[in-house]
Chains A and B, each alone.
Chain A
């Protein structure tokens, strides 16, 4: 018997373990994964790119401005029905009877289904849904449904909910739930005794809304067969088919999700949601396509919001600027949900610290992830407190921050921002400028992760006629995914933006991660780059005979030409050497092409009319590091967007709840005041090019954190009035000035 020789095994590629973020419902969690240690070519120096790190106009821009881009909201299918949701008008209730007889008899009404909730814990909770031939008939049908409610006691304001005798949001459970205790209270108390000054404050941040221009919803195209197509306004193409298949009773593989264009998510659109559940069930029952997009009213009261916060902070500081201790009592105000709030002292070193974190429940729609969940809230409070400490010991707020932040990047960014805003013009005496129109400046700092994970699978196809396709199922939320996906491939192959076509937003294409936690660019771009490099090498091998047989890595792809050994052919000539079916490469994620960890510093200048309380934002500056900027135009847009949303939270926006009725009073764009064009200050988005990391990092969230603190602190510098309750509106300024006999001045 012949002895079998052991077959020579290819030695396994060396692996290493790294930690990456994974996003669940918009909130990132760190997990450990194994990746190859052997890496391919990198991005190269940030200043050597031909397309990336330049200003590239959005490839879908013309379609969007001409109205040719089709959103889920625009879908209109033959035989399509319109779904509408009936909401509970009480802060807390049970449905004892649902009489649909009259509603179902209305001409055009095709289906009425009851919702899954037995106890409705907030006004706006979905009770039932209707499908009808027009949205108007569906609206009339909702009003023809007779619901009998057992109305239960409710509580909607946190300061009421914390009382021991408050109505319970969940029976038998306290509204106040302890979540964490960290640090050593005794040590902190001892350290307070060594402080030269102490500041104590109570900070409230309001619940704001995502205010996506396209509301939540989907179109379910199911007609009774074995498969379905779904058009969804979602942040995750691949978060749709599984849940939808369950509701439709189909195989997951038979449900295709499509997200061609979508109108904003900001963390609020993962999975099918309750509106998607209704849409699927209505479609299944009627065997007809159903479009169910939330109305704007629905969107406000049942599609989530940013967690509110209530924070009681106390800190001690020495005259040299050293913060010695902090104690914090933090309430997360997430309605019926858990809420979110980063732990204090957030990014500062504050000596001996102690914190207690609670969830404090109210009868309100659950908060959900919103752009940097929990961070603007914590940042607003700590940046206000840090500012107060600085004024208390008469130290410049910029110098004070440098003193308490070790990271050199913050120092660099603070200096840059101070120069850009003109910090030297600032009156160090808060409220010290003459006249009723008082100007002031403030600053704040922030941080975010922004690393990627290994979920994206990208195909690059080059055809014999020179056409190039890049395909991946990812979604473009308006964040420019399409544009950089195309740009990476075009740059790698040395061709123009218009020579590449991207296919995205479809679950039939390669896998991609949901867009949350600023993970899209650092997850997707390495896979696109990997696929593009592989396509280039495959093509180089094919064209080598035409160029004197160079090694593939010696072939240069540049300016629409393919060259080596002093010979050059055009892109089209090179493509002609490909096989009839063209070539397709397959890209996977590479950890070395991305990184994690950004800073970010904001400055703001405002003018406050102390006789009317009117705040005029004058100028905002935000400096953001982010490794390799894939597209400078997009990155600046992201920074501007972060500044604008912060402006809204600082001065204009906020959910108003009525204690007696338990309802939101401003569920529309009339009374929920988003900042408009006339509120915009001069905005200066600065990309920190001193960050030389040759890696892609997500920055969308980093730039919404510190602008809020900068604005709030600017109001103090202007007026000498410290308002710790957002939003800072004229009534609060006027009442504050009327009630403050001694204005704290630096």
Chain B
């Protein structure tokens, strides 16, 4: 781990300032905010990130609260994954979100890892994580996963980089129509989550979202809705004890009184550089009963545009299964 400066401001504005001054600009060396540190510290120990300064957010008041009213759930960025998972209101009105939080890592990591940090995790791609490999996302000229060992890489939205986004909360929050409040040098702004994550072909190839170096997520907002009440998150791990998703399905459905689907959200995780919404599959469900044949069909539609690499074609049938099973579960609750 490279030596760094430690600052512990008491206000958000001070924190933004500490992230701005004397910044080298490069994302891997610029000052970084730290909350739980569960991802950041691993990248620092591996020298894949070398921030000149860490700005501790844990001395700032008001960032670690969950509030729930009739219209909206507000989750402070510093709320831990454990707190989210165990919150009674979340479990009742946003069951998929509690499930997504529970699916993450280990109890020890969930006790420290925060909701804001979870959304800002860097990719798990092993080429990215190796200090010696200067891949496209670290300023190099090549995505080694494109033709290399790409078992865990993207089947949607890839190119020129083929990372998958590692967050489990992101697909679920996206399915529930969440927004995030961000404070940066230009003040406060609210960003819908579907505008937050960026594809490698669209945004800055070195980043996975629209945040700038000095931006801090302060809160996540999720509308209360019938969809949220009938939501579920199904994550597939090769190793149950501790693993990232090989694929996941975040789904939410609203049923009409006659049990047909009134509205549906299907967002896939672990298969694309961003949480991957499949509108065609959502549309297909509208007005239909969640019968076995409809479920089988919707799985196929959801994966119809997948473009597997050499070693990840298995993600297609796997994700089809997850979509089908997640919808069956959400529909039967």
The interface of chain A, by Cβ under 8 A from chain B, is 89, 123, 136, 139-140, 143, 297, 611-614, 652, 656, 658-661, 663, 665-667, 670-671, 673, 675-679, 729-731, 734-735, 738
Contacts and interface: CB of A to CB of B under 8 A. Distances in A.
A666 B3 contact: no
B71 interface: no
B241 A140 contact: no
A676 B314 contact: no
B243 interface: yes
13 contacts: A89-B132, A123-B132, A663-B133, A665-B127, A665-B130, A671-B124, A671-B126, A673-B243, A678-B241, A679-B241, A730-B314, A730-B318, A735-B314
Given A136-B3, A673-B238, A675-B241, A611 B321 contact: yes
B194 interface: no
A134 to B, nearest CB: 10
A665 to B, nearest CB: 4
A652 B243 CA distance: 12
Contact of A613 (B2, B124, B147, B314): B314
Contacts, number: 85
Given A613-B314, A730-B318, A652 B238 contact: yes
Given A665-B126, A673-B238, A731 B133 contact: no
Given A136-B3, A660-B148, A730-B246, A679 B240 contact: yes
Given A658-B148, A660-B144, A663-B132, A734 B314 contact: yes
Contacts of B42: 670
Contacts of B2: 136, 140
A735 B316 CA distance: 10
A611 B42 CA distance: 34
Most chain B CB atoms below 10 A, which of A89, A139, A731, A734? A731
B1 A612 contact: no
The 3 A-B pairs of least Cβ separation, nearest first, read: A676-B241, A731-B314, A678-B240
Contacts of B47: 139, 143
Interface of B: 1-3, 42, 46-47, 124, 126-127, 129-130, 132-133, 144, 147-149, 151, 236, 238-243, 246, 311-314, 317-318, 321-322
Contacts of A660: 144, 147-148
Contacts of A652: 238-239
Contacts of B151: 731
A394 B14 CA distance: 75
B3 A656 contact: no
Contacts of B144: 658, 660-661
Given A659-B148, A660-B144, A735 B313 contact: yes
Contact of B318 (A140, A612, A665, A676): A612
Contacts of A677: 241
Nearest to A143: B47
A679 B317 CA distance: 23
Contacts of B46: 297
A676 B148 contact: no
Given A663-B133, A665-B130, A673-B243, A658 B149 contact: yes
A348 B151 CA distance: 37
Contacts of B130: 663, 665, 667
B239 A738 contact: no
B3 A140 contact: yes
Contacts of A729: 238
A660 B142 CA distance: 12
A656 B238 CA distance: 15
Nearest to A727: B238
A735 B314 CA distance: 6
Contacts of B149: 656, 658, 665
A678 B132 CA distance: 33
Given A140-B2, A143-B47, A612-B318, A676 B240 contact: yes
Contacts of B243: 673
Contacts of A738: 313-314, 317
Contacts of A123: 132
B308 to A, nearest CB: 11
A297 B47 CA distance: 12
B314 A675 contact: no
B1 A139 contact: yes
Nearest to B241: A676
Given A658-B148, A663-B133, A612 B239 contact: no
A436 to B, nearest CB: 8
Contact of A612 (B127, B148, B236, B241): B236
Contacts of A679: 239-241
Nearest to B319: A612
A136 B42 CA distance: 14
Given A140-B3, A297-B46, 17 more contacts: A611-B321, A613-B314, A613-B318, A614-B236, A658-B149, A660-B144, A660-B148, A663-B132, A670-B129, A671-B124, A671-B126, A671-B129, A675-B241, A677-B241, A679-B241, A731-B246, A738-B314
A21 to B, nearest CB: 37
A734 B317 contact: yes
Contacts of B239: 652, 673, 675-676, 678-679
